[in-house]
Structure 1
């Protein structure tokens, strides 16, 4: 028999089937948990003390008490509204509501620093306000409920200015109502509430301080009761009932906005952001918040960077604590804002227009020459971003090396505004160093690449140049859409689909404010032109219906059906249309023919893609049917899968 121990019962429980239940001569009994008639399979007490449980009741997950936030391992009070209470917690809240504090009569007011129950100074929290316990506290040694003296002395009923129709009663916030004053929903503890009017107020909000001083503001703030809502001058959002005013400055604010940080650094911007109550509009080209992209009303408070024409709503800037850090000194050293050093180490020749035509670059050992003639070099890719070369580019006459002019002019060091080695807390932008030292996995697009990357020396994180180009833009222009796309950090709640691939939008995305047009991060980074063995011409990314008849909507590579509403690559000359995934494949940003030094092999390896024959890899014995690493040394037949080399490329 299956045995169950300690489900709120002092004896072990055994599982019974229908035959065992009837064989014991047991009649109709009730489940000791839910009260319904017991049906098999069920659990019964081995000592036959009349304790029975449905199997489903016995195996139900443990609940968490909505009063003390501890796991309910034994029997509980449960309400159909979804509340769970320990029996002692339910009685305690009932006694508080009835003002029957007999549970505290046997306890004297004592100094917990001398209490044997102190347990080394870990006093816990008050069960009324859930703030840490201080000296001189009521300790309920019998039931374990502890209260501040001030909380134990709270009046049962109060008359309050924000609700004059009925008195407010001290009670447990069973309906999880948000505080009428600060709009925050108390997670635990007591509130003053009116059950008839569905109203609750924090204990602290019911009796706010009359005067508050804060070092971030030169004058004190004075309490001002409001029977109607007001707009806070510090953050620009609505307030209720309790306002604080500064008569000298003529402003009215929330209590929480009195202590707003004056200067912050934010994960979305390189420079410091300053809080101002009012800003002259003429200093800004755009008043759109960098985070939510909605217009900021400069008649109220905001965070801004005057140097970069960047502005945030206060609540957008401070919404996530791990995204910003407070700057304590206005004259903070700006060493992090050094002027970037160009990656072109030396210019050897210039043309009449002043352009550098022959250069030395920090990531290549030979001279590079400027060119405009793409046809002479066929379908070559830039060794920096791994995209097809276009417009002006530099090339090496001695080896197969190409760089877009824009990639060649990138700085050696960049500050990344949305990266921090400490994942728990943002502490400022980090320097990333330009490098081309082998394989890496981009932390943004998650693609494997052997092009250029910017790498953080502290944590080893890397970003490819394609992701970098997006990070540096506040708006992205893509082919096929007339409006720029804005980056939204919190887009998952829109529950829409990507206009490029049709997949559900489940995370950060790019969105057009004027149209119902969305692109996921992966689709925004798709190269606009690619080269593939399926066609002799350049394929172009498009979303147009090239053929109107549904019968022709097939991919010319895999020959499977293609959704014409989704983006695809097309050759207008040959009338070929193919899936994006069929063209790019798994290793689209690894340059074939480039070398890689693996620690387990003595010679440099070359990236190859096997087509005509598939040799076996000596380590795993499987065929190399995809991208592989092959030794070009004469007489050495070493070959390896990309995924098999150690350390695995995909794990970097």
Structure 2
């Protein structure tokens, strides 16, 4: 469907027939928007308008202010409506006398400033729009009153009511049940046989409008904002769809999942659909796949498996598939989850050009990487032991035994795998795409997945989510040497890392095993640690040991042999992971931070003592402070937070 240029928003808006429960950006009234407009630009995709609000005229004449025309005021400054006294950002203003109206008052749909009589409360109720933070519930229905949502307030009792709750009528008619009047009842007064959920939207009822003849019960929001009886949406079906307002078990043709009430139905085709599935987007990008995926009404015969939830996909119902990857399919509900889809509809939008490669190939051994001004030449570890001490500028980790590119003029190094990192990519942790930033100013960031501080390259999203390149380049399935099965990204809060006990982001579908990002991406090998001249290898624990006890060479405390640790295969040295990987591991030595401090290598024979915890700094990188005539050393960020108060 073509976008529409409207004066109320800076971007063209896309008409939609979807059922979306959110506040209108124009009038700020919360509820289902059954037909309206949405912005289809990345970063602006949560902007929704009622049809009437989006089509507001640039200039109007209003009976409340007959002397001058009123001009549409776009979002930019907060104003107060001269009629209802509520603050607004979209509305009309008189340029001559500063008279203002919000969109509700301008459209003649404004609620009364004072509700003298209400069916639910004995005191007068005042219109209120002052909820700015925290959660508060409507006294009538017990559901949350959202920030900036207009409501009524009783100042004597300090209670608030949704607009529709405060305006309950003892009896009223409803288009979904025209046969009889519906009575307003509290949940306690409702008969025992009444359904506990709204027949139309399915939310739990705390007060209801009820027909005791037909046992028909709906919530206050569906009472005041009834769903349309007929809907047309060519995206999901070619014919008009009619509401069937009754409890009925059905399988939605659009998503293949079960429903138990009020579907929309096409009599010609015996087609049934959830109201949430009406007007599904045709072409979208998701964060689990590199290509666009397209909605299809049915997949046909095959053993299909959803690539997001990894459960079976019924071939006779709708879903999404990739035209370039013949076996890639996704459930409709999984593809359009807000943590998976970026909320941008791409039908009619040309395919983006292929991604610019991160480097230009000069010859078989030389590349020109976008992050560096000089050519880089391929090198293989083994010719020079000093190479193992070099750091990759992208991931800020040792070169180790991996192939790498280096600059012969200035010593700049990149792992071969880091040089291939995409400049733009999608990641399973976030719905927005990421861009690779070389961090030329060497600023310090915290990865929002592993919580490790770093100052190498980073991936950043449009809303400034930051990942280091180790986490940012990860993908699913993740195959880890400690586990025989593939691991998949999961947002299940009940999953805990099998190694450290923290939130487990990568989980196994076959057994109770999970890893967080930090443990999942620990380096398998560390070269030339200060406690051993040989490589240290990550060990995933042992069932038993010869004498039953292991001891860490660095901190001289006991190591649990069933937990992960680093060990030397040549001489048997054992180290805690925390004694090999510290807070400053992924920060480049000689990096300067404020307060006359810098990160320095801890490679001397005599280890400095941390000025806070009074222990020898055992890690390869430490923090050095020089100020007020003294030099002090800090071994961790925990100690860093204390030393600033002591020294400066």
Tell me the residue number matched to 2:516.
Answer: 520
Matched, 1:438 2:437: no
Tell me the residue number matched to 1:608.
Answer: 601
Match of 1:405 among 404, 416, 436: 416
TM superposition shift of 1:437: 3.6
CA distance in 1, matches of 2:483, 2:143: 53
* C-alpha distance after superposition, 1:133-175 (max 9, x if no partner): xxxxxxx9x999987989432489x9999xxxxx998632359
TM superposition shift of 1:114: 9.6
SS of 1:184 mapped into structure 2: coil
1:617-628 map, 5 Å: 627-628=621-622
- Distance change >3 Å, CA 520–CA 600, structure 1 → 2: closer
1:253-652 map, 5 Å: 253-269=273-289, 271-280=291-300, 287-290=305-308, 292-307=309-324, 310-320=328-338, 324-327=341-344, 330-334=347-351, 337-345=352-360, 347=362, 349=363, 356-374=364-382, 376-377=384-385, 379-380=388-389, 381-385=391-395, 386-397=397-408, 400-411=411-422, 413-417=423-427, 428-441=432-445, 442-455=447-460, 461-470=465-474, 473-488=475-490, 490-494=491-495, 497-501=496-500, 503-504=501-502, 506=503, 509-531=505-527, 532-545=529-542, 547-549=544-546, 551-592=548-589, 595-596=590-591, 607-609=600-602, 627-628=621-622
TM superposition shift of 1:583: 1.5
TM superposition shift of 1:128: 8.3
Cα RMSD, aligned residues only: 5.1
Tell me the residue number matched to 2:185.
Answer: 171
- Distance change >3 Å, CA 122–CA 563, structure 1 → 2: same
Q: TM-score, normalised by structure 2?
A: 0.60
TM superposition shift of 1:540: 1.4
Which structure is larger by alpha-carbon Rg, 1 or 2?
1
TM superposition shift of 1:581: 1.3
What number of residue pairs does the alignment pair up? 485
Q: Is the helix fraction higher in 1 or 2?
A: 1
Gap regions ≥5 residues in structure 1: 1-110, 133-139, 162-166, 350-355, 421-425
SS of 1:476 mapped into structure 2: coil
Contact kept? 1:610, 1:624, Cα under 8 Å = no
Contact kept? 1:418, 1:429, Cα under 8 Å = no
- Distance change >3 Å, CA 469–CA 288, structure 1 → 2: same
TM superposition shift of 1:523: 1.0
Match of 1:189 among 204, 207, 232: 207
- Distance change >3 Å, CA 219–CA 519, structure 1 → 2: same
Q: TM-score, normalised by structure 1?
A: 0.60
Match of 1:239 among 254, 259, 274: 259
SS of 1:240 mapped into structure 2: strand
* C-alpha distance after superposition, 1:12-61 (max 9, x if no partner): xxxxxxxxxxxxxxxxxxxxxxxxxxxxxxxxxxxxxxxxxxxxxxxxxx
TM superposition shift of 1:524: 0.6
Contact kept? 2:549, 2:561, Cα under 8 Å = no
Contact kept? 1:394, 1:405, Cα under 8 Å = yes
CA distance in 1, matches of 2:384, 2:348: 55
* C-alpha distance after superposition, 1:380-418 (max 9, x if no partner): 34333214433432234455543222222334x313446
